[in-house]
Homo-oligomer: A and B are copies of this chain.
Amino acid sequence: MATRAYHHGNLRAALLEQAEQSVRMQGVDRLSLRELARQVGVSHAAPRRHFPDRQALLNALAEVGFTRLGAELRQAMDQAGEQFEARLLATANAYVRFATRDAALLELMFAGKYNEPSAAVQEAALGALSVLLELVEQGQAEGVLEPGEPGRVGLVLLATVQGIAAVVNGGIVDGSQSEALVADAITLFTSRSRGTRSG
């Protein structure tokens, strides 16, 4: 029953899975639709039925990436207990872990600019980043972060972890130092209001 004569059944999912693996090993630019088709066992034009062009597949890949990133962030946050600092640190580390494990995927997720962002991708991105927002709101409620638009400090937080990922992935610092870097950055975040806090 191998190689169902014609219809593959779930070509789209198979392509996405293979594409994700391929991107992880070879980077985005080496991703070839034809090779993907070969690996999955269909003809070279079959992917076209599910992804009108290469960019469409990349967008879909970015979407699943954001979904998974969001899930990992939330899990890390939930598993870290209730104390804000611990949750923040765990979430930030989860972000950097994802970013270094799937560097090419992350690059792809933030690639918008030369390829218009694609509504679906942007929605998935907002979903993933909502975890950071919740975290900021908790921090503000506890007085550990200064009040104000949660979006603004949330963006700084996102930028920080994203930047750490970029620096690590770019080879500027060794990956083994990423946790220390995260710790330094998070310390910067949380130490601000500690002096002015009541308790």
Contact = CB atoms under 8 A, between A and B. Distances in A.
A112 to B, nearest CB: 4
B156 A113 contact: no
Given A113-B103, A195-B196, A181 B155 contact: yes
Contacts of A192: 188, 191-192
A159 interface: yes
If over half of A's interface residues share one DSSP class (helix, strand or loop), that class is named, otherwise mixed; here it is helix
A184 B153 contact: yes
A113 B166 contact: no
A155 B170 contact: no
A152 B184 contact: yes
20 contacts: A29-B29, A104-B114, A109-B170, A110-B167, A112-B171, A113-B170, A113-B171, A125-B170, A152-B184, A156-B188, A158-B163, A158-B167, A159-B160, A159-B163, A162-B163, A162-B166, A163-B166, A191-B192, A192-B192, A195-B196
Contacts of A180: 152
Interface of A: 26-27, 29-30, 103-104, 107, 109-114, 117, 122, 125, 129, 152-153, 155-156, 158-164, 166-167, 169-173, 180-181, 184-185, 188-189, 191-192, 195-196
Given A160-B163, A164-B159, A170 B114 contact: no
Contact of A172 (B155, B160, B166): B155
Which 4 pairs show the lowest CB-CB distances between chains A and B? Answer: A163-B163, A159-B163, A27-B114, A110-B170
